[in-house]
Structures are given as C-alpha cells and as structure tokens.
Structure 1
Amino acid sequence: MKKRVLASFLTAMMVMGMVGCGSADESQGDAKADGEKGGYKIGLTNSFNGNSYRQQMEAYAQEAADELTETGEISEFVIVEANNDASKQVQQIENFILEGMDAIIIDPISATALTGAIQEASDAGIPCIIINDGPVESEAELCYQINFDTIDQMSTLTEYVCEAIGGKGKIIELRGTAGAEFDNIAHEGVLKALENYPDIEIVAEVYTDWTGSKAQSELASVLPTLDDVAGVVTQGGDSYAAVQAFEAAGMELPVIGGDNRGYFLKWWANEAPDGYDTISVSSNPWDGATGVYVACDILSGEYEVPNEMVHPFAVVTKDEVENYKDMGDEEIGTPTYDREWVRENLYK
C-alpha cells in the first residue's frame, strides 16, 4: 500500500512539473532533458510468458532492442512478467514510471485493469505502447495501441473449419485465459462466423491459457462426455495438444484449426492422415519487435505515429505446410518484417 501511495505522490509531482513546460504531447520526443535524442530507456511488461508464443514475442522484442542498443537509440531495455496478475502489472507500470523509463510497452492482462496506470504514465509524459492482447480502454493521450484484427483472424479460422466439416456438426472451442481481452474478442470472432452456420453447435468451451499441457488435460476430462466431434477451433498454443487428446481418447480425429506452432505444423506436414484438410492461423509474435520500433519512433518525434494501428496475423494453408516440416517444436511459423515495414504499413 505504501508503494502505491508513494507512486501516486511522485507521479503527481511529475505532472505538476510538466504544467510549466508544456503538455504531455509536447514532451513526446523530448525524453532527454538536454534535448538530445536516443539513449532511451524502455520497459516491457508482459502479462504472462508461460507459453511459446509469449516467449517468442519477448525474443523478437529483445532482438530489436539489441539492434537499437548498438545504434545508440536505446540505452536500457527491461522485460518484466506479471504472471496473469493484474495488480502486479499495474505495479510494474508504476515502477517503470518511478524508474524514469522513456516508454513502456505493455502486453495487457485486461482491457480495463490498467487504465489508471496507463493514464499515470501518459500524464508523466511517458508513451505506453499496447501490443498483442489489446485493445485496452484508455483515453490517455500517449497511449498507442498495436492490435490484431482478432475478430477477422478467428472468423477466418472458424469459417474454414465449418466449411471443411460440411457446414454442420459439433465443434469444440479452445479458449485462452478467462477474462483476457484477446480471449473475449477471439470468442466474438468465432460467434460471428457461426452466425452463418446455424447447423453447427459448440458442445464444449475449454480454457487452456494458450498452453498445450492444460489443453490436453482439460480435453482428457471432457472428451469422454462427447461424441461425433467434427471440428475444433483454437486460439493458439493448444492445437497439437488437441491432436494428442483425441488420439489418446481413441476418437476419430476431427478438423482441428491450427495455431502455427511447430508442434502442430510439423505433425500436419509429416504425420497427419493423407489429405488432412485444415488451416493454421495465429497472431504474429513479431509484434514484440514492432512495439520496440514504434516506441523509439514516438520518442524521436520524427514520425506521425497513430494512436491505433493494426498488425497483420499469420496464415498457413495446406499448400504451404511443407515449408514448416522441419521447424522447431516451440517455434511459431510466422512472417517477420523490419523497421521500414513498420513505418510504411502501420503509420497510416
């Protein structure tokens, strides 16, 4: 409690100090007191890093930070993890404010739990860049959101599965973490697609935290109660676990929407029944690097960075899966880009 009171007091003092020297927007790009650009201190708070997607996202962010450290744009880059604890992530943002970070990258645990902390950072002149699991609810001037079109992503996957099973039958929906905004929006995308398929029924919704171990154990408990499952829609980190669960249960393999993880893509390319028909779709963990590039461009003041940006998701079809037959188990099949791509495609 004392830490939160101290954080609020110091933040208020920083805001008061800004009144005489211009607005938060005017301070954007002038993080250094002497007016020099570069040498930025950037913190990344990840709500959870217990699956391969988040770990790869962090790795891409670190690669971009290392690149910009070599050029002198970044002097310090810190990654912390909140373990799905909203209060902990709020505290991490407040700590970054106290530590004088120039920008904060946030993979949010919730659409609403971080609103106050993001506003505190913005009031202190610190841009917050939201990646991966947004959007968040925030009117903060210095809140920048890099989101996937999750509804389109999940509609694309769901529609393919529905067509592959002939437009009727029973499906299972594997979800992520209960309460996470990405999961809420992903579910909305599934339901949107199902509006066109009245003869398809979701017979089970299973929360997996986007991890294979939990998906397999949860499915092991629910599959004995079901029959004639024709399809499975997944969000990520759990597609191959679904394959294993059905095989372990001795049930006929349904059409399982893929998640671009190496486990699933390698199985599809090398072991799946001949002609196995599905599609694999995922968010793109390269948005970790995108967040780093965007943070530095905001701080430089040289680019007109919009407050809302849309990052493309990744799709692998049956005609492309052979390209991934030798990838690592924990890798995610996804396109990567570069800094110029970010500027040309996201700053619109």
Structure 2
Amino acid sequence: MKKSKWIAMLVGGAMICSLAACGGQSSSAPASTAAPTEKTADTTAAEAGDTTEAAADAAAEDKGEGKGYVIGFSNSYNGNTYRQAMEGYLKEAAEELQKTGEVSEVIFAESNQNNSTQVQQIENFILQGVDAIIIDPGSATALNGAIQEASDAGIPCIIINDGPVSSEAELCYQINFDTIAQMGYLTEYVCEAIGGKGNIIELRGTAGSEFDNIAHEGVLKVLEKYPDIKVVAEIYTDWTGSKAQSELASVLPTLDKVDGVVTQGGDSYAAVQAFQSAGLDLPIIGGDNRGYFLKWWANEAPEGYDTVSVSSNPWDGATGLYVAVDILDGKDVPKEMIHPFGIVTKDEVKDYADVADEAICCPTFDRDWVRENLYK
C-alpha cells in the first residue's frame, strides 16, 4: 500500500499514514450509489419535514432502532475535484452511520459561491428541523447571523474546510486546517528552491473566502524573510485548473522571467500546462497533491525536478459528519479542532506514477482517529 509522509508543522515531527484515497480510483470522490438521498435545501419546510420524517421512520423500522439524525450540509461551492471528493467522503461516512441507525438522511445544498444563497440554505435547514448543519463557508462573516439562528434553535453548526468563521454562537464548532503552516511550508520550499531570489506568481483561491485570506497570509509571512523575491502576479483561480490556465495564458506574456509558482490547490498542473503552452522555461511549481500534477511530476517532469506537493485533506467531509453525530450524542467535543494536511516529497512522488487523474492524494482515516486526534 502506498504511504505518504505527514509532517506536523508546528512540532516538526512526522508519521506515516496509508493512502487509501490514492489507490487507483477513477474519481477524486469515493463512489456512492445508495444512501444518503441527495436533495436541495430549496424544498419547502413542509415538504422537507414530510420527507425527512418518512425517511427517518423507514430507517427506524429497518434497524429496529430509534430515529437517526437528519444532517444538513451547506457547501459554498462544489465545482472542483477537491470539493467533490469532500462530498464523496461525507457520503461514505453517512452510509456507514445509516447502517447503524445513527443517521437517517443527509441533505445537500450548494450555493455556487453566493453568500446570500448560502444564508438562505442554512435558514431552510433550520425550518426543516435538521439536527445539525455542516458548513463549508464562503465567508468568514456573512454566515454569522444564520449560524446564530441555528444555535438559538438548538442546532449545532460544524464548520469545515474553508473556515474559520468569526461566529461566537454557542453551538458553532470549527474544524480547520493550519493554513498558515501549510502555505508557509510550500512557500518556503519554493523560495529555497529558486535560491532565495527571483520572481514568483501566487495562485490564489476564491476572492473573499477565509481559507484564501489565511493562505495568503501564510505566503506573506514567509516572503518577509526573502526581500529579493518579488510577487509579479496574484491570480484568483477558484482552485480550478481551467480558470488557472486561462488566467495564466493572459498574464504570462506580460511578465519577465518567472522562477517559481506558489499554489493553494487544484491548479498546479494547469500552471505546468500554461508555461508549456507559452513556450516558457518551467519554473518551480508548488504541487497540490492532485493526480494530474503528481503523475506529471513522476513521469514527465524534467529529470531531478525539485518541488514539493502539499494539500488540505478533503476527508474532512467525513470528519464533519462524525463530529456532528458525537455532538448530538452529547460527547465532549472541543469548539475548535485542527485537521492535518498532507505532503508528498520528491522522494515519494514515484509512488504516485499511476494514480487517477482527479485523485486527491491524502490519507483517509476513521471515526476512532477523529476522536483520538481531534478531541484534545
């Protein structure tokens, strides 16, 4: 089984975890064909209530147990492979918890990067009477009112992936990445690889998202140590390859030599393609643990190509569901948790020569791991 090195950035330690997410899968998201039934959050409260109760009663009858929890999931965006993988892992965890009768249904909603729409969807979940809401937020502040409404109604909100949010609601729980450490590690590597001087491009995510804001802060903190490195372009890509490639195609002809590229994810291989299409020398491009990039690096990159690949872990979708159920069960769950991220080095990339194009190569865990590692 393939292995991936994990580096605890704040303490400098390392451990080895199995790469279940990378082993020859045909898609970045795990397969999910049965439960839970997907819905939109735009159904009326009455319709949702009828459907929810029927599903819960059916689950109870099948299992001979009490009704399972109904969970809402509000995703600010699912238009890239990372978000799709995150939803896939959440569905896998939901299927597991449906078999035990702990969850009867997960209702999915996606706001397409519209904060007002996401607020409405969260409010719809409240009207439907869901037991908990998992939220991948599009803003650090825009959802605070809706989160407070949910908390006042006794509905826990679990923030994942693109937090933190600034809500002070009593029932707001947050599962975040140490994004400053993650982006700091990648940026430092690129800066050292280009000899501490030169021009770099920073590929950012979605404008206004808190993950992007914090990731940018991590880049800037490192660049303070490298006064001879200049950021010649900042490009928002929405963490998608198509946008990254088109934006780079328009920017590259206007720039002098580019020595390095720092990325947040979903756009590293697109950067490779953009430089190749422009006929330019290939800079040091920080990787993003996507199959496209890792396969290129392992099989096609110039011999000895020196970089590193880093990514947030989409398995936090499953983490969010496990945490939601534990909160509803009355377990002692901390309000703030840090989820680890994954790193692939030049010594390990050969292990990824045959991964699926859209795989997100990060370790997967299980429920016990969540309890043992995040509830501290």
Tell me the TM-score normalised to structure 2 length.
Answer: 0.82
Size of the alignment, in residue pairs? 315
The answer for the alignment partner of 1:28 in structure 2 is none
Gaps of 5+ in 1: 1-5, 8-35
Equivalent residue runs for 1:1-348 within 5 Å: 39-301=68-330, 303-348=331-376
Partners of 1:232 and 1:99 lie apart in 2 by: 45
Distance verdict in 2 for CA 1:203–1:40, change over 3 Å? same
Give the drift of 1:254: 0.2
SS in 2 for 1:217: helix
Partner Cα distance (2:89, 2:360) in 1: 12
* AA partner of residue 258 (structure 1): G
Q: Deviations over 1:134-153 (max 9, x none)?
A: 00011100000000000000
The code of the aligned residue for 2:203 comes to L
- For 2:79, give the aligned amino acid: G
- Partners of 1:92 and 1:322 in 2: CA distance: 43
Q: CA deviation at 1:38?
A: 5.8
Shift of 1:177: 0.8
The one-letter amino acid of 1:129's match is I
Q: For residues 37 and 165 of structure 1, do their structure 2 counterparts lie closer, same or farther at Cα, with a shift above 3 Å needed? A: farther
Q: Choose 37-46 or 249-258, whichever is displaced more.
A: 37-46
Aligned-partner residue type, residue 326 of structure 1: D
The DSSP-based 3-state class of the residue aligned with 1:290 is: helix
Q: Distance in 1 between matches of 2:104 and 2:237?
A: 38
Structure 1 runs (4+) deviating above 2 angstroms are none
Deviates more, 1:115-124 or 1:319-328: 319-328
Cα distance, 1:37 vs. partner?
6.7
**Distance of 2:151 and 2:345 partners within structure 1:** 42
Query: Could you list the per-position Cα deviations for residues 136-172 of structure 1 after superposition, in whole angstroms to 9, with x for gaps in the alignment?
Result: 0111000000000000000000000000000100000
Identity in percent: 78
Indicate how the Cα distance of structure 1 residues 38 and 305 shifts in structure 2: closer, same or farther if over 3 A, else same: farther
Q: Is the 8 A contact 2:286 2:307 kept in 1?
A: yes
Q: Distance in 2 between matches of 1:254 and 1:296?
A: 46
Q: Note if contact 1:38-1:300 (Cα within 8 Å) is conserved in structure 2.
A: no
What is the CA–CA distance in structure 2 between the aligned matches of 1:110 and 1:319, rounded to whole Å? 37
- CA distances 1:32-56 after superposition (whole Å, capped 9, x unpaired): xxxx976000010100000000000
Distance 1:322 1:94 in 2: 47
**Equivalent-residue separation in structure 1 for 2:122 and 2:107 (angstroms):** 12
CA distance in 2, matches of 1:151, 1:44: 26
Distance 1:233 1:324 in 2: 21
- Greater helix proportion: 1
The residue that corresponds to 2:19 in the other structure is: none
Q: Give the secondary structure class of the aligned counterpart of 1:87.
A: helix
Partners of 2:96 and 2:124 in 1: CA distance: 25
